[in-house]
Amino acid sequence: MSILVNKQSKILVQGFTGTEGTFHATQMIEYGTNVVGGVTPNKGGTLHLDRPVFNTVAEAVSETGANVSIIFVPPAFAADAIMEAANAGVELIVCITEGIPVQDMVKAKLYLQGTKSRLIGPNCPGIITAGECKVGIMPGFVFKKGKIGIVSKSGTLTYEASDQVAKAGLGVSTAIGIGGDPIIGTTTREALEMFMNDPETEGVVMIGEIGGGMEAEAARWYKENGKKPVVGFIAGQTAPPGRRMGHAGAIVGGAEDTAAAKMKIMEECGITVVSSPADIGVTIAKILKK
């Protein structure tokens, strides 16, 4: 079982014929992902990677029935690409692009509220259902199929967590890299809730970082609604206040923004917190054996 994407998902690539779109679409196809076509304005009617190219998302959806889109377009055009996909009725939009202006994302997020579309990202590695469908830039070989869900702000730590889970003799149902920008589509709590409602996910790894309140929000929701074990890790434990660490959203601005504060809240809400990503796999395995 999985959440959001599976073998039946029909994937559309926005920015299909560009360098990044071409490279990662090739990797996705090799993984077995059902890529049905792509969009590059003014190149409609051609073929790329043996898939049709369309001028607009609306045309692509009409012709292919695509229900998932992945975006590889420059930052200046990414918010428009998100809104175009939503306007065409795409159910899941995954935006890989980083460096999108905050004001653009504010506009895009407001626009999404009036649609049926869910956004993952931006500035994220995407989403993968192990052994079925990869919609993103993650190294597919790292993800062994299993029953542990992963939600993470960090791309690199998503891969590390999956590797640790595999080394502990377990595997991954679905892994979601939600992104580390100040304005993102799907929050940690929303992803955690989806995993809690997935009958085939038996445990969850939740990876956060300094800055913002998403981890605290997720933890408090879990305290009231959690029914499966969650192992948590917060990156940036040595980060000084006021210093941004990597992601645009990773900056300590309030009392609950520090790693220590987030870890404390998570523990108080029933989440098992580890201080090192190297402990993620063995910890979730130990909990599930009890």
Catalytic residues: 247
Question: Exposure string (b/e) for 226-251, b if CB count within 10 Å is 16 or more?
Answer: bebbbbbbbbbeebeeeeebebbbbb
Provide the token pair at 129.
Answer: 């259902």
* Residue whose tokens read 């998503």: 158
**Hey, is 208 helix, strand or coil?**
strand
In the chain, which ranges are continuous DSSP H helix?
A: 19-31, 57-64, 75-87, 102-112, 155-167, 188-196, 214-225, 259-268, 280-289
Provide the token pair at 43.
Answer: 């190149």
Strand ranges (DSSP E) for 114-268?
118-120, 126-129, 133-136, 145-152, 172-177, 203-209, 230-235
